[in-house]
Amino acid sequence: MAEDSAAERSEQPTPERLRKARREGQIPQSREIGTALMVLALAIVLGLAAPMLFRWFVGQMQQGLSCRPPSDGAAGFAAMLRSRALACLAVTAPFLLAAAGVSVLSSLVAAGGWNFAPKAIKLRFDRLSPTRGLRELFSMRSGVQVVTGLAKLIVLSVLAYVYLRGRLGECLAMTACAPHQILLGVCRLALGLIARVAAALMVIALLELLYQRHSYKRRLRMTRQEVKQERKEHEVSPEVKGRIRAIQMEMVRRRMIREVPKADVVLANPTHVAVALRYEAGSMEAPVVVAKGAELMAEKIKEVARTHSVPVLERPELARTLYQTVDVGQVIPESLFVAVAEVLAMIYRLRTNRSLAGK
């Protein structure tokens, strides 16, 4: 143990450890890869659809400037709005589909494939801790995100400045052009800038993704003891595991049987369950369950109790409640104090009467 504490988590995560982490929803996450792919998809779709968009915008401007009120009143106006809405939807559909595809693709790239983890949506109140929030706020991961954001801002600012400065003459020449030529020139400048921004974001995102995967595996590192334990669990066959569990259960049963003669009373139901209780007024705060069992184990407990003159009382409801709610070695709950106290008081009175009669 001292060696493991000194070395801490120095071993790389095993495939089983990685699978377990994925089942719990722990996967490498990269915010930048989604942003970069989104901008790249926007640049591609915009480049492919630019002629169509230009013609559509020109047509909409011409129709809007020459628009006349519908002759059939409100119904015609509503029909015109529906047609314009459908036209807008048709134009924006490629962008919406590209955004949806990129969202799924970015998750697959970051996580390394599909991953369904129901445990990840489980409500965990420990994540609402202010202390935990402060630790994550000043953690290494938060520092990397801040550095990545600053690097992205600087790179994009420099890139936009260099690109626009090199085309300053082209921008000035647009003042003497026709309106449609100015619009085409602005579109070309915007598309070129978006393409360069997308390329820069992809480089930043790939670097950030490599770091996230490295950090992910580093968080899942294991101690040598954990690796040895996992290897032992996989090397042991199911038959051997079952035999080990059977031996452990037998040891527990024998230990309980040894405790029955020390009990003050055994409560039965009357054949299904049996619970042995022990109470020492000077050293115990409340009665303790020293043994319990069902069916054959219950009969064994009652047999040993009768052999050692431990009273066996039939209290079906109390016996079932103790069997279902209290484990061996635990004290009874406060809600059962009164019922158990009445039973123990009766047992103590019987013992006292017997001792007096014997004298």
Residue pLDDT, tens place only, 2-15: 444 434 777 777 77
pLDDT digits (tens, 9 = 90+) for 267-315: 888 778 888 888 887 777 888 888 888 888 888 888 888 888 888 888 8
CATH H-level, domain 259-358: superfamily:
secretion proteins EscU (3.40.1690.10)
Question: Residue 49: CB partners within 8 Å, gap ≥ 6?
Answer: 94
| Cα–Cα distance for residue pair 208/206, rounded to 1 Å | 5
Neighbour count for residue 274 (Cβ, 10 Å): 28
Q: What percent of the chain has pLDDT over 70?
A: 78
User: In whole angstroms, how large is the CA radius of gyration of the chain?
Assistant: 38
Whether the predicted pLDDT of 356 surpasses 60: no
pLDDT digits (tens, 9 = 90+) for 147-177: 777 877 888 888 888 888 888 888 778 777 8
Residue with the bigger pLDDT between 108 and 57: it is: 57
pLDDT value of position 69: 66
Are the C-beta atoms of 35 and 248 separated by less than 8 Å? Answer: no
Per domain, the residue ranges of the chain are: 27-219, 259-358
Q: What's the whole-number average pLDDT of the chain? A: 76
